[in-house]
A = this chain, B = another copy of it.
Amino acid sequence: MKITVLGTGAGARCHTARLTELGHQVVVGTRDPQATLARTEPDMMGTPPYQDFHAAHPGIELRTFAEAADDGDLVINGIDGANAVQALSAIPRAALAGKTLVDYAVPYVYQQPDQVERPWPTPWGVMPRLEPVDTDSLAEQIQRALPDTKVVKAFVTQEQETVTHPKEFADGDHTTLLAGDHTDAKNAAGELLRAYGWRDIVDLGPLAAARGMEMYAHLHTAIGLALGTRFGVKIIR
């Protein structure tokens, strides 16, 4: 299967590397391929420049968002939450029509501590707020923007390293979640998750459940800060 990964951040690289390792052909999309490859400094999250990753993974094409989306049979959205709807809407509709798009973005809005009325301090500043939140989700916004595409929310309730390598924790004996309005698209996302090593995949039903998945980001961050380590979450029946 030819899989498109939109985005070149740390999470997108996890999926790109893992999918390649699993034998898939992967095409990566970025706003401006030449600019992405020319960058020599770490990004705002401290991720090393993409040129290092690109050199270490020969054979992975880097194309524009539109070219990459057109090329893949299934699309993973790793564009950051604040830019995802705009960037995806700019892709010609036909390039994504009929395809499964798995979205794992969290719609963070980063805030300056001195502009926040009640800051929640973290080691890197203050907790970002979410937009949308509660009565809408980024996944639903994307689905409304791309009515011909089948949006699945998944890969969002763990760090991306954990999503792609679930056996790091308790030999993979933990749980991952997905939601969406299209059963065949959820099946396709589930197949990817099983290939990554997941055995316990809970389908939360309609894409509206993405609200809860995205809002879990705050609890996930708080648990990570408390433990000082990555972790897995297992649902005990």
Interface, chain A (partner B; CB < 8 A): 116-121, 127, 129-130, 133-136, 140, 157, 169-170, 173-174, 177, 179, 202-206, 208-209, 211-213, 215-223, 225-227, 229, 231-237
Give A85 to B142 CA distance when docked, in angstroms.
37
Q: Is the CB of A203 within 8 A of B215?
A: no
Chain B residues, Cβ within 8 Å of A237: 169, 227, 229, 231
Chain B residues, Cβ within 8 Å of A119: 208
Chain B residues, Cβ within 8 Å of A211: 120, 127, 218
Give A204 to B228 CA distance when docked, in angstroms.
11
Chain B, Cβ-Cβ closest to A202: B226
Q: Is the CB of B208 within 8 A of A223?
A: no
Chain B residues, Cβ within 8 Å of A130: 134
Shortest distance between the CB of A119 and any CB in chain B (Å): 8
Chain B, Cβ-Cβ closest to A215: B215
Q: Is the CB of B236 within 8 A of A235?
A: no
Give A220 to B219 CA distance when docked, in angstroms.
12
Instruction: Report which residue of A134, A211, A227, A237 has the largest number of chain B beta carbons within 10 angstroms of its beta carbon.
Output: A134
Instruction: Report which residue of A136, A219, A221 has the largest number of chain B beta carbons within 10 angstroms of its beta carbon.
Output: A219
Given contacts A206-B120, A233-B235, whether A218 and B227 have CB atoms under 8 Å apart is: no
Report 18 cross-chain contacts, Cβ distance below 8 Å, ordered by A residue.
Answer: A116-B135, A118-B135, A118-B136, A118-B140, A121-B206, A129-B135, A133-B215, A134-B218, A173-B236, A212-B216, A212-B217, A212-B221, A212-B222, A215-B216, A231-B235, A232-B236, A233-B235, A234-B235
Shortest distance between the CB of A170 and any CB in chain B (Å): 5
Give A39 to B179 CA distance when docked, in angstroms.
41
Given contacts A209-B120, A215-B218, A223-B202, whether A233 and B231 have CB atoms under 8 Å apart is: no
Q: Is the CB of B204 within 8 A of A223?
A: yes
Q: Is the CB of B222 within 8 A of A209?
A: yes
